[in-house]
Structure 1
Amino acid sequence: MYIEQLSLVNYKNLQEVDLQFSANLNCFIGNNGAGKTNLMDAIYYLSFCKSFLNSIDGLNISHGEDFFVVQGKYHRLESEENIYCGLKRNQKKHFKRNKKEYKKLAEHIGLLPLIIITPSDIDLIMGGSDERRKFLDGLIAQYDQVYLDQLLRYNRALLQRNKLLKEFAVNRYFQEESLEVWNDQLVLYAEQIHQKRVEYIQKLQPVFQQYYELISSGKEPIQLQHQSQLYDDDFSSLLKNSIAKDRALQYTSTGIHKDDILFMLGDYPIRKLGSQGQKKTYLVALKLAQFDFIKQMAGMTPILLLDDIFDKLDKNRVEQIVKLVADDHFGQIFITDTNREHLDQIITEVEADYRIFQVSDGKVSETSYEKK
């Protein structure tokens, strides 16, 4: 699967852009702030119905304008897909597939599989446990609707139980039977969610290990460790034993919503001891493992976006990533960089078709390049 054409109007600092892409490698070159990442974000938007940079849609409209339009023409399996998104300021956005508008945006997720690696991924390591749960849940839910449904039902039950705990505190009374209704629902969904998380982390680990060893030349052992209170006891008992604590806190203090994934480098968390290069290698390997996982689940090769990934990496690790990217295991790839040397290195390694685009102050133009 690949995107053949991208058209933008008033998307961030990109006033009017119409580009034809290679089905293999596409490079965006330019200074910081020129608009390279905004181009990546537009491609991401067409896969996930949202920006990876701004959670508020209106912030994606160019300053001083009243709307934006993002359109893409794709080749997916044996068919052509035309995807459109338009948003007028302070109005509902319209998302269409082949001119037919979606009733629910969730229906679109998974149609155009895509993996993006960006500098902001460092939040997976340095951020809180919610960032890592979000990563794992997004990975599973994208191709497991049952898991997504269970997760939504669990979160609704959790919301109701927390609401009840607050009501008890405000009104100064307590009725354990009322909590048990929500306890039963939480237990039902949590145990299934827990098993899926355990299963998927076990599947991800060996692929992740393989990619990390390739990039780091096999010098550093790594591991994903799933932390969950459900390893300590069954969830029903955990809820009963935490009632006094939950009443005092006025929220549910135990459950799969407290899960975490420890990113280990040797015997220690990488967030504490890892260098910037090790952390970046960790994230690239993790995302490439995610790529393989989605490729298998979707039955097609995802688009791969690599946004400014070479910064903070030593020469050897850059070379290893370039070799991976040049492999035909990956399909369509987009790369942004300010460093022409990295581009020269990639182009030299890649035998497939490629296109290079110069980005400057929101203007994008294709440029010619001859291999040395």
Structure 2
Amino acid sequence: MYLERLYLKNFKNYDELTLELEDGINCIIGPNGIGKTNLIDAVYMLSMTKSAFSFTENQNVKHGASDFALSGRFKTENDLSTVICQYDKSKKKISLNGKEYNRFSEHFGKFPCVLIAPNDTDLLREGSEVRRRYFDSVISQFDKEYLQSLINYQRALLQRNQLLKNFAEQRQIPNKEWVAPYDHVLLKEGRIIQNKRKSFIEEFIVSFKEAYETLAGEEVADINYKSDFGSDTIFEETWQKDIALQRTTKGIHKDDFDFRLNAYPLKKFGSQGQQKSFIIALKLGQFLLLKKQLQTSPILLLDDIFDKLDDIRIKKLLGLIKEKKFSQILLSDARPERSKTLIEQISMPCNIIELKK
């Protein structure tokens, strides 16, 4: 599977643009600020239904415009498929071959992609919510039951938290019976999510460790899944605390993933090079797992990562590319000569896309 054609209109800094892409390496080159990352993000949105870099849809609209449109033509072994994403007047629509989705979640996993970008280090620096969101997005691409349980859990969590706030704001006596239906949903869906996260990590860790060893050698990298979602009385045990803080203080939404290197916390003891290798191995492990689960090779998006890696790690990453571990690759670089030199080193054809002001 690969993206054959990409079309943008009023998307970020682009008025209108059509790109023809190849099944292989596509190198987007041009000076900083020209819009290379925006093209990568457009591909990500067509795959994942949302931007990788913008928090709101308005941030994706070109200044002076009121809407944007994206279109991608994907080619598989036996078929051509067109995905269209349109945003107009605060409403976004996504369609596949002319049929609009009722729920964006129906699109997950159909045209998978894996993005490696400079801001991936947020997975280390930021709190547990960022790590949960990352792993949730990976699992949701191949496990629809997990995605539905996640949607159900988050909906019940929002409603429970709102009810706890209402008790305080309206000075009502907290009533457990009112909260009980939400507790039931959180317990049921939370148990499903917890079990699936455990199973996922057990399988994912194999691909991840393989990728890390290729990049960094014999250091022992590990990921531990941490959850306080224990007994069925968890919400009864935290009832008084939840009332006082006006939010649900324990549950599957507090889970975390602990990144370790040689048994020590990566964030605290890992060097910059070790941290970068860990994150890239995380994404390559994601690639290998999705390829296995979905029986298709995801598109690999490499956004300006050569500036963030030393020569040794660049060489090893290029070695993986040369071994044809990936199908379609879109990479961006602000230094054209560097990209051309690196591609020449692995003696592979490359579609060069040079952007100019």
> TM-score, normalised to structure 1's length?
0.90
Structure 1 residue 201 and structure 2 residue 201: aligned?
yes
Specify the alignment match of 1:348 in structure 2: 345
Residues 287-313 of structure 1: CA deviation (Å, up to 9, x unaligned): 111111111111111111011112232
Residues 196 and 359 of structure 1: CA distance in aligned 2, closer, same or farther (over 3 Å): same
Aligned to 1:113: 112
| Closer/same/farther in 2, CA of residues 181 and 44 from structure 1, 3 Å limit | closer
**Structure 2: how far apart are the matches of 1:67 and 1:182?**
38
Which sections of structure 2, spanning at least 5 residues, go unmatched?
A: none
Moved more, 133-142 or 5-14: 5-14
Task: State how far apart, in whole Å, the 2-side matches of 1:81 and 1:21 are.
Answer: 15
Inter-partner Cα distance in structure 2 for 1:181 and 1:96 = 35
1:260 is matched with which residue? 256
Q: 1:45 to 1:161 in 2, by over 3 A?
A: closer
2:307 alignment counterpart: 311
CA RMSD in angstroms, aligned pairs only: 1.8
CA distance change for structure 1 residues 166 and 331 in 2, over 3 Å: closer, same or farther? same
Match of residue 126 from structure 2 = 127
Counterpart residue number, 1:367: none
- Tell me the secondary structure at the aligned position of residue 84 of structure 1: strand
Unaligned runs of 5+ in 1: 362-372
The answer as to 2:47 corresponding to 1:47 is: yes
Between the aligned partners of 1:182 and 1:100, the Cα distance in structure 2 is 34
Deviation at residue 132 of structure 1 after TM alignment: 0.6
Mapped pair 1:291 → 2:290: no
Identify the range of structure 1 (121-130 vs 269-278) with the bigger mean alpha-carbon deviation: 269-278
Match of 1:186 in 2: 186
8 Å contact kept, 2:343–2:350: no
Distance in 1 (alpha carbons) for counterparts of 2:180 and 2:96:
44
TM-score, length of structure 2 as denominator length: 0.93
CA distance in 1, matches of 2:165, 2:62: 42
Partner of 2:160: 161
Q: Matched residue of 1:331: which SS?
A: coil
Aligned residue type for 1:213: E
Q: Deviations over 1:20-62 (max 9, x none)?
A: 1111110011221111111111111211222212132232222
The alignment covers a number of residue pairs equal to 355
Is the counterpart of residue 322 in structure 1 residue 321 in structure 2? no
Distance 1:33 1:276 in 2: 26
Answering whether residue 34 of structure 2 is matched by residue 38 of structure 1, we say no
Aligned to 1:84: 84
Deviating more after overlay: 334-343 vs 190-199 = 334-343
Identity %: 38
Higher mean C-alpha deviation, range 60-69 or range 254-263: 60-69
AA matched with 2:276:
K
Matched residue, 2:72: 72
